[in-house]
Amino acid sequence: MTLSLSPAQRDALAAWLAHLASLDGAAKNTITAYRTDVTGFLSFLVQHHGEPLGLGPLSRLTQSDLRAWMAHERGRGVAARSLARALSAVKGFLRWLAEREGFDATVILAARSPKFRRKLPRPLAEDAAAAMIETVGDQSTDDWINARDAAVVTLLYGCGLRISEALSLTGADSPLPDTLRIRGKGGKERIVPVIPAARTAVAQYVRLCPVPLTRPEPLFRGARGGALSPRLIAKAMERARMQLGLPATATPHAMRHSFATHLLSAGGDLRAIQELLGHASLSTTQAYTAVDTARLMEVYDRAHPRA
């Protein structure tokens, strides 16, 4: 697809992505997605205008060009959520290019993103989260593997970690301290308190683990001694949710959702929860407010005498 781009466009795109990676700390997956989105947009413009474009014509783009591209994307089945992400990438690239090349991109940057309904997080109930941890820790014939899986899921629920963050812990993090310094998406660091249950679960795993857990090596290991695959935790939770009769949404990430939702239900401050989760934007964390309100209305509908 990049063959349809001019050398100047390819160079500019590469420079923008390098800027995002080095100065903004964008994650590798984010860089890959942005490259795909912007390349697709630039390639569409070649077809739309019937000739290769350099950087100059990009300064003269109109909202008509953007609307034509979005219509093309929707026509080939791209969902509104994915198109909104692609438009955000295109705007980011054009904003950066406008600053570098000295043109006014106001008209393009004012283009509205397609509307879509954000999916609400699907947390587990408190008793279901506790049952999940217990069930995950009772599936293998090897006690150390049971302890390992229970420790990982406890970290997801008890500390609100992403599965990738839990599995990034090393032998140097054991025994778990009162707080962990976690490097999350985009290299963003945050401090996460460690609850006693998580320290106990990890200590039990470390005591039973037959593999030497040296400081620079991964804390959580697979059966052959290598780094534990997140897929193994997902499969363990898949078996557990079938035993417990929980929905397919009871995934490792749902434990993180449950952590946030239960904190909010207990009166936790939204800003504090944002920091604990490592969300760059408060709007992301505010999704849990909608979850809490939705649950409140369910209780109201069931319990109100006039319901």
Task: Report CA dihedral (227, 233, 235, 239) to the nearest 10 degrees.
Answer: 140
Separation CA 116–CA 79 (nearest Å)? 9
Of 91, 221, 241, 279, the catalytic one is: 279
- C-alpha R_g of the chain: 24
253 catalytically annotated: yes
Q: What residues are paired with 191 via a beta bridge?
A: 181
Nearest to 107 by CA among 72, 54, 60, 69: 60
100 catalytically annotated: no
Using DSSP's 3-state secondary structure scheme, residue 181 falls into strand
How many other β-carbons are positioned within 10 Å of the β-carbon of residue 15?
13
Of 48, 85, 122, 253, the catalytic one is: 253
In which element (H, E) is residue 243 found?
A: helix 230-244
Say if CB 45 and CB 53 are below 8 A apart: yes
Question: Strand ranges (DSSP E) for the chain?
Answer: 179-183, 189-193
Separation CA 230–CA 167 (nearest Å)? 8
188 catalytically annotated: no
Of 162, 199, 221, 262, the catalytic one is: 162
19 catalytically annotated: no
Of 35, 199, 221, 256, the catalytic one is: 256
49 catalytically annotated: no
In this structure, which long-range contacts are made by residues 236-244, counting pairs with CB atoms below 8 Å and at least 24 apart in sequence? 236/136, 236/139, 236/149, 236/153, 237/132, 237/136, 237/153, 239/139, 240/132, 240/135, 240/136, 240/139, 241/132, 243/135, 244/128, 244/131, 244/132, 244/135
288 catalytically annotated: yes
Report the sign of the C-alpha dihedral through residues 189, 193, 198, 202, in that order. Answer: positive
Separation CA 259–CA 274 (nearest Å)? 12
Which residues are catalytically annotated?
Answer: 162, 185, 253, 256, 279, 288
